[in-house]
Amino acid sequence: MSQIHDVTPQDLVQLAVENLGKSYSPYSHYPVSAALLTATGKVYSGVNIENAAYPVTICAERVAVFKAVSDGEMRFDAIAVVTENGGSPCGSCRQVLAEFGLDTKVYIANKKAEIVMETTVGGLLPGAFTPDKLVR
C-alpha cells in the first residue's frame, strides 16, 4: 500500500474506524463508516444514516462523496470503508463512486482496522456505467 499525499491507507482506515460509532443504524444494526481522500488531499468522512422509511436511508460512502462534491471536490484518490466484519460497498455506492473515477483506490477494513480487501472502484464495479457512455 502506497502513501497518497501525506495520508496513508491506514490513516484513512483509522479515521473511518474512529467515526464508526457515529453511524445511525437502529434498524440494521450494521454501522458503516467511510473516509474519502480527494485529489487535493482533503479527507471527507461519512457514516450510514438509516430511516424508518428504508428507501431514504443513505450509505456512508455516499455521504462522504456528497459532502466532498458539495465542497467542489470531484476527483478522488482513495476511500476507506469500515464495517464490523469488513463488508463491501453496496451497488449504489459503487455506482456513485464510479461517477468520479474508476481508478479511485478502495480499502475495505473491519472495525479492528485490518484491511481485508484493497482494490479500485473499477475492480468493485467491472463494466461500470460511466458518464462517457451517455449519448450526447
pLDDT digits (tens, 9 = 90+) for 47-96: 999 999 999 999 999 999 999 999 999 999 999 999 999 999 999 999 99
Distance, CA of 105 to CA of 7 (rounded, Å): 13
Domains and CATH numbers, the chain: 9-133 (3.40.140.10)
Quote the mean pLDDT of the chain.
Answer: 95
Cell numbers for 130: 460511466
Q: Which residues are catalytic?
A: 61
For residue 11, the surrounding DSSP H or E stretch is helix 9-19
List, for residues 105-120, the tens digit of each pLDDT value: 999 999 999 999 999 9
* pTM over cut 0.85: yes
Contact 128, 121 (CB under 8 A): yes
